[in-house]
Amino acid sequence: MNTQEIINLFEDALEIEQNSLSESTNLSDIPEYDSMAKLSLIILSDDEFGKKLSGEQIRDFKTVGDIVKFLSAD
Amino acid sequence: MKRTFISGASKGIGFALARRLSDEGQNLLLQASSDEGIDRLKDQFGAKGHLFWKSDFTNPSSITNELEGLLRDFGTLDGFVHCVGIRSRRPLSLFQLEGMQAVMNANVVSFVETMRIITKRGYFNPGLSVIGISSISAHVGSPGVTAYAASKAALESSIRCLAAELFKKSIRVNGLVCGQVNTEAYHELMSSKESEADPVLQRQYMGLLEVDQIVDAICYLLGGSSSQMNGTMFPAHAGFLS
């Protein structure tokens, strides 16, 4: 999955318009990025990428790019 | 010697209960869903003469096919405690039909199917006491726990109906409404949570419950001291629902 596809998946999970986010978008600037969105991210990471995402890792994410980097890493 | 069946015995409340009842000299039928769980039970109780049963309660047909045979070897039951419980957190947008079915099967359908079998004549002693482990989630809504909360509410309803149906056979059925309990599952849950503080504990103002406190409550419901209690939801939520 390439960077844009991952971002689109993240947008889907947040139920926000496609292509409205970029790697440089700060998570704190996304009003929809609330506790339920973070739960969605945990489940997405597990379902789609087979990766367990901890609460601590989530708290370390600052930008959309941080999430993309985590999900696309081998 | 009393005989008790504990489902979900390899972890958390089930494991602590097995240890307590084993220490009291009871004979136990202990269910776990994985090889790892059965190994843990054998390590702890291998020399005690208990019976171990690997069965996946997300597929209740294993209960239908295997439990009667096990009970013929094990003997008539005095107690059954349903500790199996899949904890599920998933927003509606990521709802999965199979996931919901697995939660319902493990948390409630397996309980009812087990009750169908163990309450047949010849498999229980008069005074059989049954306890289902429920949750505050059955009573207060919170986002993301629809499947789990629905399963626990269904469990409570089934307990009330079965209590009314089975009392003529001298069988009591009660539930235990648990708040947050200090188990491995709780710590796993907290490590995957997005916030460091547990919002439940703000409302559970008497603090996190210890497993032994829950085991004390189960032992009360199993024993003769609670002989007039039937179809109740015994509170073990440290103030959460007050």
Assign residue B8 a region: left if phi > 0, alpha if psi is -120 to 50, beta otherwise? Answer: left
pLDDT in tens, A4-52: 999 999 999 898 999 999 999 999 999 999 988 999 999 999 999 999 9
Domain holding B27, by residue range, is 3-236
The whole-number average pLDDT for the span B123-131 is 98
Mean pLDDT of B147-167: 98
Q: Does A1 touch chain B (CB under 8 A)?
A: no
Domain assignment present for B73: yes
Q: Is residue B242 situated within a structural domain?
A: no
Of A45-54, B24-33, B183-192, minimum mean pLDDT range: B183-192
Residue A26, helix vs strand vs coil: strand
Q: Do B194 and A15 touch (CB under 8 A)?
A: no
| Alpha-carbon span B238 to B210, nearest angstrom | 10
B83-105 mean pLDDT: 94
pLDDT of residue B196: 64
Give residues with Cβ within 8 angstroms of B165, minimum separation 6: none
Q: What is the domain count for chain B?
A: 1
pLDDT per position as a tens digit, B211-228: 999 999 999 999 999 999
% of chain B with per-residue pLDDT over 70? 98
List of domains in chain A:
3-72 (1.10.1200.10)
CB contacts of B189 in chain A (<8 Å) are none
Query: Does position B147 have pLDDT exceeding 80, yes or no?
Result: yes
- Cβ distance of B93 and A15 shorter than 8 Å: yes
Contact (CB, 8 A) for A29 and A12: no
Q: Look up residue B124 and give its two tokens.
A: 């229980």
Interface contact B89-A39, CB threshold 8 A: yes
List of residues 6+ apart from B192 with CB closer than 8 A = A42, A52, A53, A54, A55
Does B241 map to a domain? no
Q: What is the CATH number of the domain that holds B112?
A: 3.40.50.720
B37-71: per-residue pLDDT in tens? Answer: 999 999 999 888 899 999 999 999 999 999 999 99
Q: What is the pLDDT of residue B198?
A: 81
Neighbours of A7 (CB within 10 A): 22
Distance of CA B15 to the CA centre of its chain: 11
Confidence of residue B186 (pLDDT cuts 50, 70, 90): confident
Q: What is the pTM of this model?
A: 0.92
Q: What is the ipTM of this complex?
A: 0.81
